[in-house]
Structure 1
Amino acid sequence: MFALYVMFSSVAFAGGYDKNKQDIVDIAASNDDFSTLVAAVKAADLVDTLKSDGPFTVFAPTDAAFAKLPEGTLESLLLPENKDKLVAILTYHVVSGKVMAKDVVALDAAETVQGNSVTIDVSDAGVKVDNANVIKTDIKASNGVIHVIDTVILPKQ
């Protein structure tokens, strides 16, 4: 388990962020890999929430993760009439509190802001949140932490 923790927590994230001044939204907006996430957060009117004091833990899907969604899904979610569904999906990626990698590896589930829980699976292959692989960890923000995932996770219906 110790080796897994070391592997999970040592993944670096490129970029020289001043973590004491940038919040979760600022960090996401300053990285091209999160442009789709930032657009979705704006469309869902969640910017102010994710810029608030928090703290929050965000399992942040990359643009490549959003590209895995079935064709037309993202465009549909960004329509004003689907805002509630978009909010539900995005808040399913957020956990209250600052949960660092060393804490995530000790969990088997975490309750999201959306209300349902994500499952956390720790194995020799890495850490999964629902069906998403955690690919980068512990990107510290002034109001929480970001863990990067490779797949958009969807709330259980």
Structure 2
Amino acid sequence: MKNLFKKITLLAVCITVFSCSDDDTTPQQTITDIAVSNPDFSILVQALTRAELAGVLDGSGQYTVFAPTNDAFNTFFALLGPNVNVTNVDLPTLKSILLNHVIEGEIKSANIPASSYQSTLSPFSSAAGAPTISMFIQKAGSTVTINGGPGVEGNLRKGVIVAAADIDASNGVIHVVNRVIQIPNIVDHAISNPNFTSLVAALTRAGNTTNFAGILSGTTSSPFTVFAPTNTAFSAALTELSFANLAAIPEPALDKILKYHVIAGANVRASALPTNPVDQITFLGQTFKIGTSGGAKITDFNLRVSNIIATDVQCSNGVIHVLDKVLVPNLN
């Protein structure tokens, strides 16, 4: 009888332990679950549902989502026109914008480097297998900015600041953003990266014959493939060409130099670059040789060799590849 009592007592303890364990174990919410449970994400939930994307973020994959609040969406809709809201905004636009807030794989704030490009899920075009739009992420201290941040009054950008980070979900992580991340064109991406301030200054220099900023922001003659020299590359070129600064370059020469870095009518990704050097015609009408044998590089008219040091920054109207040296065409 005494042994029986001990067994019954032990069984009761086991049942209590397992019951408590079951009560304490709550399945972790998915990204969609978290959005649905937060009233500040009600427009995001409506948008995901209308675009038929809620199921994607309710699945088993791992994603990083930069989630705009209701205020962020309302600000964005106001930019599109009066009376635009989540129920009547153009559906393809809405879907593209939503996918532009999602990166495949989980990236916690602690793992964000000082600066990097990431691929969103937003396709560059409607073609099957189209590349997806790039996102430029920067972190300084605890502050994380996307695509250069929102800018300031009078000089607004299409980027955002992360307002709250690391809301953990079963299928990834949510970072709350203060604005909707608009899809960047070539000029937007150039402006957002501090390594391209010299390039932006050259493109927007007063007195340019060609409206480079306007052309590379638009879709006429697009898509474009732009080979973008860094600030260091521009500094070296000024010394090499004996100019004190960008303002000292004669306008006809600067016009030719900038056009020489652009291929019009083609979105040439790194995977499509030729192995053996071939002539490539540029927006200027002159050619340079480009190839990947022994490393991706371009040989310009003057037989100067520039290395392609980063590739495939995908924009809405083309792609950017980064150069370590300015290309110099025939300036005569």
Q: TM-score, normalised by structure 1?
A: 0.79
Q: Match of 1:133?
A: 161
Q: SS where residue 61 of structure 2 aligns?
A: coil
In 2, Cα distance between equivalents of 1:72 and 1:127: 24
1:28-107 alignment runs, 5 A limit: 28-71=35-78, 73=80, 75=84, 78-79=87-88, 82-107=90-115
C-alpha contact (below 8 Å) 2:105/2:172 kept by paired residues: yes
C-alpha contact (below 8 Å) 2:114/2:140 kept by paired residues: no
* TM-superposed deviation, 1:54: 1.2
Pair 1:24–1:66, CA change in 2 (3 A): same
* TM-superposed deviation, 1:21: 2.5
Higher mean displacement: 106-115 or 144-153:
106-115
Q: Deviations over 1:14-56 (max 9, x none)?
A: xxxx884210000011011111111110110101111111101
Matching residue within 105, 119, 123 for 2:140: 123
Q: Deviations over 1:99-150 (max 9, x none)?
A: 1111124442211011111111222571101221101111111111000100
1:2-17 alignment runs, 5 A limit: none
C-alpha contact (below 8 Å) 1:98/1:144 kept by paired residues: yes
Q: Deviations over 1:67-119 (max 9, x none)?
A: 22252738356338x22211110000000001111112444221101111111
Q: Match of 2:179?
A: 151
**Which structure exhibits the higher relative contact order, with contacts defined as CA atoms closer than 8 Å and separated by 6 or more residues?**
1
Q: Match of 2:126?
A: none
In 2, Cα distance between equivalents of 1:68 and 1:75: 10
**Larger CA Rg, structure 1 vs 2:** 2
Task: List alignment gaps of at least 5 residues for structure 2.
Answer: 1-24, 123-131, 148-158, 185-315, 317-332
Letter of the aligned partner of 1:103 in structure 2? N
Q: SS where residue 42 of structure 2 aligns?
A: helix
Provide the identity percentage: 35
Q: Match of 1:109?
A: 117
